[in-house]
Structure 1
Amino acid sequence: MVELNLFLDLQVRQLEYGIFINQAKYTRELLKKFGMESFSASTTPMNYSRKLDKDEDVQSVDITTYRGIIDFLLYLTTSRPDIMFIVSVCGRFQANTKQTHYVCAKCILKYLKGTQNVGLWFPKDSSFNLISYSDEDYAGCRINRKSTSGTC
């Protein structure tokens, strides 16, 4: 059999000391599809001080483009847990997309531009100690006051 190199847009590098999985090619295609190749890279996927909500007073944007970005980003989270939370937050606004939501999605794309080669590393000969993190925000959603939790 031949070594696995590419499977469903997952790039797999099998080395003697572990396996590295990323989606750099998919990320480049994503940036090209939405015209973000010439934009400068960002160091974070979203500004911490920005809170997304319904923004009824702000103008609506093309819902098809926004949904396309979110769909591509959701698939990218298979190898990029660092964007999982913000993509899920942006995904909440696919039915009534406003300019602020679109700007946030573009910020994620700018972050991806600077971190295209980030992925998952699975070392071969190491003791496996599972470490789990949890973050909970009681009644933190400004729209419906529901709690938000995340684990990694």
Structure 2
Amino acid sequence: MHGRFEMSLMGEMKFFLGLQIHQSPCGIFINQAKYTLEILHKHGMKKGQSIGTPMAMKPKLDADLSGNPVDQTDYRSKIGSLMYLTSSRPDIVFGLTAFSDVDHAGCIATRKSTSQGIQFLGDKLVSWMSKKQDWTAMSSAEAEYVALSASYAQVM
């Protein structure tokens, strides 16, 4: 490769873009243990405790009636860090699958459509819904979009 490209040999690669790299005769292995500890330290969660999924139900959060502004950059930083972390950690990514369908104009009296949706975490059913739509959809595409939106809201 030296003959075709200008390059320099800097030794065996140990780190690349936050990934720890270990090269052996058996293969190349990557992990992000150091990056994970940096995330926990950055967000003050070094003593964080793991919890199982699904998580325990807790009281719902209410709106902040005092109107205090929220620092969105901190939340976005945490989410972005976790998304990058999942690139090398398939064990922390949960397989969430959602299906939605609609019975377009199924109600004979009102011509309203019925939305249905189911959500799986791994291979376990965690949520389902079936609801008559609040308005009459003008097309099957519109009815499908409304059903998809309702199913997506369950996921989020």
TM-score, normalising length: structure 1: 0.49
| CA radius of gyration, larger in | 2
Greater length-normalized contact order (CA 8 Å, ≥ 6 residues apart)? 1
TM-score, normalising length: structure 2: 0.48
